[in-house]
A and B are shown apart, each in its own frame.
Chain A
Amino acid sequence: MIEIRYPDVLLDSLENGHMIIDEHFVVNYWNRWLAINTQINKEDIVGKNLQEFYPDINYKVLYRKIKTALTIGTPTFYDTNSSKKFISINRNKVTTSSLKLMQQQVTISPYIASENRVMISIYDISELFEAKLLIKKEMNTVNKLNQKLEADREIIDKNIMIMKTSVNGIIKDVSSFFCSSFDIQRDEIIGKNISIFKSDDVSELIYKELWETIKNKKPWNGELKYKGLRAQEKWLQSRIMPIFDTHGEIHEFSAVYHDITNEKLLAELYITDSLTKLYNRAHFDETINMIVKHQRKVDSDFILVLVDIDHFKSINDTYGHQVGDEALVSVAKTLKSSLRDNDLVARWGGEEFVIMLKNITIDEAEIIVEKIRVNIEKSIIKKDIKVTASFGLTKYIAGEDSKEIFKRADDALYEAKNSGRNRVVLK
């Protein structure tokens, strides 16, 4: 090891400020860095009291720190974040500086304990401090954004029905609003398959179309009916979107729902006959008028059937209107249960019903209608009370208006009535 013969040269070469003072604050040494940065020459300060040059330092605190360093034999420090500077040194950085004065780390180290002298070292930590300030500023911005995001998230959670599922349909998360809408706890459904909500009222074709769409990485929009765990059902306007990972592969599905149950109920009431629960005449009229108007080949292939309960007036007169209503409900049920899903049946008015049999030949239609006639005949309305019905059917001819086809069906029905009732007549 070499002997350091010129310690003042060593201290002058350091890029930090170093002074040696005694417990009465008399300056014993002042290095070059301090002379340059404070503009106070060594010759002017050495031998004099620091208080003459820096009266603002809290000398009571400095004295205690000096005493601590000397007593314990280890360095003592000032708070590096303090806005009060040990000694003021202007900072000359011109570009992007938020600090006008040098931020300092001040260490008081025991120098010659027996002579109560300490070395005060000053390190320029302005760059570090600036970085800290910048981080703090950025963190404040991030925190504000996070708070806003959290507030928004809370609003969304409490007001929008949202669900996230894995690729294979396992429920990963749901919003509070979804849970409260179905009166369920989050824990009850997390980890379960989305199929627990599946309702039989939604056609398998809809589910197939949904899965095909989202598996092909596209969002699906449509109406779904969900069945809650406690029997309540809701119609939901749904938007189901695939969420992608960084490789562009589907990572999960996210669904946003809007409860349209009330709208659906209203819409259904508007088109439903309140007694028989079949469609009403207005809905049937609207449907047939649309077909006639657009003349699409796929829609125009249908058979129109008019149905009239035989001797209905005498049922009402004999057994009362309540039995008459029961007869109407019974016939409606038989009609509904004897037809396919895509056929349309409505109450036309009084004891009359109307049926639209789609994509079927006239011969096939005649067979189906004959079966319906038999089913009605066999049905028991109430103890010993039975009814029959007459049927007039005709095929729609492309280009004709609704009056024309109704006229033909009505003629067929008239003929069925006149030729003894309880029969099917084709026109």
Chain B
Amino acid sequence: MNLQFNEDQLDALREFMNVSIGAATASMASLLDAFGTMHIPKIDICNSNELGAKIQESIDMRSMYFVSKQLFTGKFGGECMFVISEDSSMNLGRYLYGIENPSFDEINDAVIELTNILTSTIVSRLTEELSTQVQFFVPSLQFLDSASIVDEEDVVEYSKIIIISTILDFKDQQIVGNIYILTKDEAIESLKVLIDKKIEEIYG
């Protein structure tokens, strides 16, 4: 199984992701009444055992994190992971619930809600661009220290992983989070087929 992307495929994927991120930014502004920015997505293809290190590169190791994961299935399937620090989560809970001291449950639900919006908009738009459909599953949430975000044993069964990552930043509300769209082996193969099909459609 060749899991490497050629330059054309990578360019197309970057373009689809830019569109998806744009859609997510717009959705958040409309649904949450907050202006957030999202960084240009970074695309990494790495071995599954490198995932933990890749994620730790982009977060503060001293903080505790709420880690929300939502699975999606279809021709392009995978896992969307949203990693948000304890401080940012508190600010998110305050903002979405409109109270100064949100409870742990309220913070959890706020993180779930933001994950929902992010995953749905980014992945839905990406799959729309790829002319396919996906089904979303209930997000799960954990409160973890930075070293425990990815359990190496959980990912060893995959050989390759694509990490599409971006940073979400609500400056006014002081909310920053990292979003990772993870997909593995067979799904990477499917993604390549879908991208090729789309390139064919666009450029004939």
Residues of chain A having any CB pair with chain B under 8 Å: 58, 60-61, 64-65, 67-68, 71-84, 105, 107
Contact = CB atoms under 8 A, between A and B. Distances in A.
A79 B108 contact: yes
Given A61-B96, A72-B117, A105 B105 contact: no
B27 interface: yes
Contacts of A81: 108, 141
Given A60-B98, A61-B96, A77 B105 contact: no
Contact of B138 (A64, A65, A105): A105
A58 B112 contact: no
Contacts of A77: 112, 116, 138-139
A68 B113 contact: yes
B88 interface: no
B93 to A, nearest CB: 11
B104 to A, nearest CB: 9
A68 to B, nearest CB: 5
Given A77-B138, A79-B105, A82-B105, A61 B113 contact: yes
Contacts of B49: none
Given A60-B98, A68-B31, A72-B27, A78 B109 contact: yes
B166 interface: no
A107 B138 CA distance: 8
Contacts, number: 59
Nearest to A106: B138
- In the A-B complex, list the 3 residue pairs whose CB atoms are closest, starting with the nearest: A74-B120, A79-B109, A72-B120
Interface string B129-140: 000000010111
B124 A72 contact: yes
A58 B31 contact: no
Interface string B90-117: 0000001110000001001100110011
Given A79-B105, A80-B140, 16 more contacts: A58-B97, A60-B97, A61-B97, A64-B31, A64-B96, A64-B113, A68-B31, A68-B113, A68-B116, A68-B117, A72-B117, A73-B124, A75-B136, A76-B113, A77-B138, A82-B105
A147 to B, nearest CB: 16
Contact of A64 (B32, B105, B124, B136): B32
9 contacts: A61-B113, A64-B31, A65-B113, A65-B116, A74-B120, A76-B117, A77-B138, A80-B138, A80-B140
B6 interface: no
A74 B105 CA distance: 23
Nearest to A74: B120
Interface of B: 27, 30-32, 96-98, 105, 108-109, 112-113, 116-117, 120-121, 124, 136, 138-141
Contacts of B96: 61, 64
Nearest to B23: A72
A400 B25 CA distance: 109
Nearest to A70: B31
B105 A67 contact: no
Contact of A74 (B31, B112, B113, B124): B124
Nearest to A64: B31
B109 A82 contact: yes
Contacts of A82: 105, 108-109
B18 to A, nearest CB: 18
Contacts of B136: 74-75
Contacts of B97: 58, 60-61
A81 B32 CA distance: 23
Nearest to A75: B136
B109 A61 contact: yes
B89 to A, nearest CB: 12
A78 B109 CA distance: 6
Contacts of A68: 27, 31, 113, 116-117, 120
A70 B108 CA distance: 22
Contact of A72 (B32, B108, B121, B139): B121
Contacts of B116: 65, 68, 76-77
Contacts of A107: 138
A380 to B, nearest CB: 75
A105 B97 CA distance: 20
A60 B96 CA distance: 9
A139 B187 CA distance: 33
A19 B79 CA distance: 29
B30 A71 contact: yes
Nearest to A58: B97
